[in-house]
Amino acid sequence: MKSVSFIVALAMLVSSSAGYAQRIESKTQAQITASACSTSKESEQKLKDTYDKITRKYDKDKVFLTALDAAQKAWLAYRDADLKALYPLEYRKSYGSIIGTCVCDQLDKITRARIAELQQWLDGAKPDNMCAGTVMKAE
């Protein structure tokens, strides 16, 4: 009789541990997603700050600023289309709870690449760069 009680107690312990592990896993995934999305938002703010710095630095070059604005709008459309192609809304449920993390990670990756592209206008071009276009020479 004692062995049956022991087996029942052990089964209850295992089943409650499994439920606890699932709750911890869900919370952990939520924390991972929150962290990924927070990082993505930080990158988005850095992108806005970089763009604003460029517009202030080049404030007298209206032709360039008009072209930059058009390029940025096109980039935003590309970013959104790229995310939709990678993670179509119709498929998102099939990824499970990790989808938020995946989307935020990809958004962060794309945004950091755009910041790097824009940085040239802040860094300036080398004096001997004959193909610098609208990038001012470095001081």
* Average model confidence (pLDDT) across the chain: 86
Instruction: Look up tokens 């945004």; give the residue.
Output: 111
Residues 53-64 have a mean pLDDT of: 98
Residue 137 three-state SS: strand
Residues 62-69 have a mean pLDDT of: 98
Residues 112-118 have a mean pLDDT of: 98
Backbone phi, psi, residue 125, to 5°? -95, 155
Report how far residue 51's alpha carbon sits from residue 139's, in angstroms, rounded to the nearest whole number: 20
Report how far residue 135's alpha carbon sits from residue 139's, in angstroms, rounded to the nearest whole number: 12
Q: Of all residues in the chain, what percent are helix, strand and coil, respectively (each to 5)?
A: 85, 0, 15
Q: Domains plus CATH for the chain? A: 34-123 (1.20.1270.180)
Q: What is the pLDDT of residue 93?
A: 86
Bridge partners, 137 (sequence order): 125
- Higher-confidence residue of 26 and 119: namely 119
Report how far residue 107's alpha carbon sits from residue 47's, in angstroms, rounded to the nearest whole number: 12
Token pair, residue 3, equals 């062995």
Report how far residue 49's alpha carbon sits from residue 36's, in angstroms, rounded to the nearest whole number: 20
Residues 68-82 have a mean pLDDT of: 98
Query: Does the pLDDT value for residue 19 go beyond 50?
Result: no
